[in-house]
Each structure stands twice: as structure tokens, then as C-alpha cells.
């Protein structure tokens, strides 16, 4: 089971890496894919910093945690994903949730569950 969890974490790290690269290097297309429009160059810079860099850092933590065999390091990344899911719930309650956030929400729920499971399972086995 731990091998499956490790693979899931590496896959999540890879997905975070791809999302981060897209946010960093193609912010306009990335924002458009989320149903957002950037009205200024500062908007693209914000996508690069707040989405691209954020996801690249999460990818690095996932890979580092698995390579160092320190799954407890996954807890902060799982917390970030959980707060994102909560934010989606707040958005839905305010009528701000359409079809474009469905895929990101599914990714966030699965990522949070996989990362929490990997981190907590390893803690429970000690």
C-alpha cells in the first residue's frame, strides 16, 4: 500500500509541476483555461507568482518528502489543498462556481486526500 501512496504522491507532484510550469510560462492561456481574463500585464505577473510559483513549490515539497522518506512534510501541502477545497465551497455558496472550476476542484479534492493519507498513514505506522 505504501508503494501505491508513494506513486500517488509522485504523480501529484508531477501534476503540480505541470500546473506550475503552465502558470509560470503561459499565464494568459492558463488563466483563460480557468475562465479568467487578464486585463493587464500585472495580471499575468500575478498568475506567474501566485499560481505558477505556488504549484512549483508544492511539486518540489512532494518530491523532496518522498525522496527523503519524510511524508510528514506533505501535511502543509495537503493543508493548502484542503483550504483550496474550502474556498471552492465558499465560492459555491456565493454563486461563484460554474463549470470551469470542476476539474480543478476534483484535482484539489483528490490531491488533498492522497497527500493526507500518505502523510498520516506513515505517521500511524511509526
Q: Model confidence over 33-74: pLDDT tens digits?
A: 877 888 888 999 999 999 999 999 999 999 999 899 899 999
Instruction: Give the span between the Cα atoms of 51 and 57, in whole angstroms.
Output: 10
Q: 56 near 77, Cβ under 8 Å?
A: no
Residue 64 near residue 73 (C-beta atoms within 8 A): yes
pTM of the complete model:
0.85
Are the C-beta atoms of 19 and 51 separated by less than 8 Å?
Answer: yes
Q: Note down the domain range covering 50.
A: 2-125
60/97: higher pLDDT: 60
pLDDT in tens, 4-21: 888 889 999 999 999 999
In the chain, % of residues over pLDDT 70: 94
Cβ density class 83-105: b for 16+ within 10 Å, e for less: ebeeebeeeeeeeeeeeebeeeb
Number of domains present in the structure of the chain: 1
Amino acid at each position: 500500500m505504501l508503494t501505491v501512496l508513494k506513486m500517488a504522491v509522485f504523480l501529484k507532484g508531477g501534476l503540480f509541476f505541470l500546473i506550475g510550469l503552465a502558470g509560470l510560462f503561459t499565464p494568459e492561456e492558463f488563466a483563460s483555461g480557468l475562465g479568467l481574463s487578464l486585463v493587464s500585464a500585472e495580471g499575468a505577473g500575478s498568475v506567474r507568482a501566485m499560481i505558477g510559483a505556488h504549484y512549483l513549490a508544492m511539486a518540489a515539497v512532494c518530491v523532496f518528502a518522498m525522496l527523503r522518506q519524510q511524508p510528514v512534510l506533505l501535511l502543509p501541502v495537503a493543508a493548502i489543498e484542503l483550504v483550496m477545497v474550502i474556498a471552492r465551497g465558499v465560492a459555491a455558496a456565493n454563486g461563484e462556481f460554474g463549470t470551469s472550476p470542476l476539474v480543478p476542484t476534483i484535482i484539489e479534492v483528490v490531491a488533498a486526500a492522497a497527500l493526507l493519507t500518505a502523510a498520516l498513514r506513515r505517521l500511524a505506522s511509526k
